[in-house]
């Protein structure tokens, strides 16, 4: 067993770290203005393309960076250091778009990969959150296409994207199906753009769809495939959340450690106080253990004979433990900074607000626990084993 990163993995890690370091210059402006101006978006787009980190989850033959899941996790860990969710400016098209037909690929996916278009993914509804099967958005068959009616909430990047991947119950069978909906289509409207706890470089608007016509050739992945495709996406996305949250936690610990060594009270650095030392040590433990686990699962997913069902539960473990650990880490780091940790111009304050959502989106911590316990009950303790 060799735990060292290969030269290629190290090169990707360096490229991602350099890109993250470059993007930090936009953090304060993003916080102060709740977003960035178009010039900044254009500069970041160029920087992403120059770094070769566009669409890291898409094959090179379509223009993506074509990274394995393990390589993607290595990159995402570095990008997770950023506040303002600037990591999301390093676009990774929804994996569901892999199911595009050749025609759809040309119109939708390839322009996203090039950074010319942007997708967003609309599953959640006012009454369908953890339970997406409760969806009420419908697609009614009409001549040459479908007519979509319904409401979608929390659509991340919905302000910036120009098309939406919409999950709807299609036809009389209510077959859960994904549709590619151009945002400019008549009947698509933004009802509300809530302000959330975090500052995020994009918004998460609420959309309504009223008699929105979508031609037949904009069904994504086939009728009735909507849940399966979405579920497959969850496994990888949850792992990337684990990677990003640990990257964020490490940045916070670096800052808190530096602060503890420099800041003096009672005539000496606060790092001399054992109560501070205990917090630093607990942060290091949370980070080290969680990094080892998400890298293990990322490596397992990258193996050709990976067992998808067990990996779904392992990704749930990775997301649950890393998101909860990073929330503990950032809480301690804010404490170590004292009053300054409560000031928005400090990265630890911003990370404190930003890491909270990682226990909610892409399946709450409770839902991850249900997935893990479901796997244990159905298939035993395989989920704990390393692959043989
Ligand atoms: C900032 C942000 C961005 C988002 N981006 C997107 C996006 O781009 N696209 C998208 O489709 N969605 C998005 N979401 C939605 C997100 O995935 C949901 O918020 C999440 O799945 C939880 O659903 P809910 O908010 O309806 O909570 P609910 O499902 O109503 O849950 C409320 C509480 O009940 C608990 N609970 C629910 N069921 C059970 C159960 N069976 N057992 C035990 N506890 C349970 C939950 O864990 C939670 O604590 C986003 C959310 C946020 C906050």
Residues with CB under 6 A from ligand 1: 121-124, 129-130, 154-156, 196, 204, 357, 360-361, 363-364, 366-367, 370
Token pair listed for 278? 């205990």
Among 3.30.450.40, 3.40.640.10, 2.40.40.20, 1.20.140.10, name the CATH number for the domain at 227-384: 1.20.140.10
Q: What per-residue confidence (pLDDT) applies to 231?
A: 82
State percent of the chain over pLDDT 90: 95
Q: What per-residue confidence (pLDDT) applies to 119?
A: 98
Q: What per-residue confidence (pLDDT) applies to 304?
A: 82
Is 388 a residue whose pLDDT tops 90? no
- Indicate the Cα dihedral angle 163, 165, 168, 171, nearest 10°: 80
**Average pLDDT over every residue of 5-16:** 98
The residue to mutate among 237, 357, 364, 365, having the most atoms of ligand 1 within 8 angstroms of its beta carbon, is 364
Token pair listed for 310? 């067990």
CA dist., res. 67 & res. 56, Å (int): 5
CA dist., res. 301 & res. 308, Å (int): 8
Helix (H, G, I), strand (E, B) or coil at 273: coil
Is 323 a residue whose pLDDT tops 90? yes
**Residue whose CA is at the smallest distance from ligand 1 atom 16:** 361
- pLDDT tens digit string along 239-287? 999 999 999 999 999 999 999 999 999 999 999 999 999 999 999 999 9
Interval between CA 333 and ligand 1 midpoint (Å): 27
Interval between CA 28 and ligand 1 midpoint (Å): 29
* DSSP per-residue letters across 332-366: HHHHHHGGGGGSTTSHHHHHHHHGGGGGTTTS-HH
Q: Which atom of ligand 1 is nearest to the CA of 204?
A: 3
Q: What per-residue confidence (pLDDT) applies to 175?
A: 97
Q: How confident is the model at residue 387 (pLDDT cuts 50, 70, 90)?
A: confident
Q: Which atom of ligand 1 is nearest to the CA of 167?
A: 11
Q: What per-residue confidence (pLDDT) applies to 85?
A: 98
Among candidate residues 364, 355, 41, the one with its CA nearest the CA of residue 199: 355
| Bridge partners, 176 (sequence order) | 169
Q: How confident is the model at residue 306 (pLDDT cuts 50, 70, 90)?
A: confident
First-to-final CA distance of the chain = 12
The residue to mutate among 125, 130, 354, having the most atoms of ligand 1 within 8 angstroms of its beta carbon, is 130
Interval between CA 265 and ligand 1 midpoint (Å): 43
Interval between CA 279 and ligand 1 midpoint (Å): 31
Is 1 a residue whose pLDDT tops 80? no
Q: What per-residue confidence (pLDDT) applies to 236?
A: 93
Q: What per-residue confidence (pLDDT) applies to 148?
A: 98
Among 3.40.50.2300, 2.40.110.10, 3.40.605.10, 2.40.390.10, name the CATH number for the domain at 119-220: 2.40.110.10
Q: How confident is the model at residue 190 (pLDDT cuts 50, 70, 90)?
A: very high
Q: What per-residue confidence (pLDDT) applies to 309?
A: 84
**Average pLDDT over every residue of 161-165:** 98
Question: Nearest 5 degrees, angle CA 348-CA 354-CA 355?
Answer: 90
Q: How confident is the model at residue 307 (pLDDT cuts 50, 70, 90)?
A: confident
Query: What's domain 7-93's superfamily in CATH?
Result: Acyl-CoA dehydrogenase/oxidase, N-terminal domain (1.10.540.10)
Interval between CA 359 and ligand 1 midpoint (Å): 9
| Bridge partners, 141 (sequence order) | 146
**Average pLDDT over every residue of 109-120:** 98
Domain boundaries, the chain: 7-93, 119-220, 227-384
Q: Which atom of ligand 1 is nearest to the CA of 362?
A: 17
User: Average pLDDT of the chain?
Assistant: 97
CA dist., res. 380 & res. 195, Å (int): 43
Q: What per-residue confidence (pLDDT) applies to 151?
A: 98
CA dist., res. 274 & res. 255, Å (int): 18
**Average pLDDT over every residue of 353-377:** 97
Interval between CA 84 and ligand 1 midpoint (Å): 21
Q: What per-residue confidence (pLDDT) applies to 348?
A: 98
CA dist., res. 273 & res. 300, Å (int): 41
The residue to mutate among 154, 200, 324, having the most atoms of ligand 1 within 8 angstroms of its beta carbon, is 154
**Average pLDDT over every residue of 153-162:** 98
The residue to mutate among 95, 356, 361, 371, having the most atoms of ligand 1 within 8 angstroms of its beta carbon, is 361
């Amino acid at each position: 067993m060799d735990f060292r990163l290969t030269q290629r993995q190290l090169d990707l890690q360096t490229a991602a770290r350099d890109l993250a370091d470059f993007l930090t210059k936009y953090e304060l402006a993003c916080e102060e203005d709740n977003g960035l101006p178009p010039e900044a978006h254009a500069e970041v787009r160029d920087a992403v393309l120059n770094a070769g980190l566009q669409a890291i989850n898409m094959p090179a033959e379509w223009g993506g960076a074509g990274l394995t899941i393990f390589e993607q996790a290595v990159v995402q860990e570095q990008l997770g250091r950023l506040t303002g969710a600037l990591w999301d400016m390093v676009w990774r098209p929804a994996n569901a778009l892999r199911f595009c037909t050749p025609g759809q690929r040309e119109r939708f996916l390839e322009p996203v990969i090039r950074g010319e278009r942007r997708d967003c993914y609309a599953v959640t509804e006012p009454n369908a959150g953890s339970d997406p099967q409760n969806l009420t958005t419908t697609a009614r068959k009409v001549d040459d296409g479908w007519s979509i009616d319904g409401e979608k909430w929390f659509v991340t990047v919905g302000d910036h994207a120009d098309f939406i991947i919409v999950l709807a119950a299609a036809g009389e069978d209510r077959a859960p199906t994904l549709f590619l909906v151009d945002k400019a289509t008549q009947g698509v409207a933004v009802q509300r753009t809530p302000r959330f706890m975090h500052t995020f470089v994009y918004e998460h608007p609420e959309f309504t769809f009223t008699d929105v016509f979508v031609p037949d050739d904009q069904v994504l992945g086939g009728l009735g495939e909507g849940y399966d495709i979405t579920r497959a996406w969850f496994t990888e996305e949850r792992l990337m959340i684990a990677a990003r949250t640990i990257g964020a936690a490490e940045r916070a610990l670096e800052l808190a450690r530096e602060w503890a060594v420099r800041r003096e009270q009672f005539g000496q650095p606060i790092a001399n106080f054992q109560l501070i030392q205990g917090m630093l040590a607990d942060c290091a433990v949370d980070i080290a253990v969680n990094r080892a686990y998400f890298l293990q699962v990322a490596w397992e997913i990258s193996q050709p004979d990976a067992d998808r069902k067990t990996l779904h539960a392992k990704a749930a473990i990775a997301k649950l433990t890393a998101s909860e650990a990073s929330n503990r880490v950032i809480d301690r780091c804010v404490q170590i900074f004292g009053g300054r940790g409560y000031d928005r111009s400090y990265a630890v304050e911003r990370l404190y607000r930003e890491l909270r959502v990682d226990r909610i989106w892409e399946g709450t911590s409770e839902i991850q626990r249900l997935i893990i316990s479901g796997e244990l009950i159905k298939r035993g303790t395989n989920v704990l084993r390393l692959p043989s």
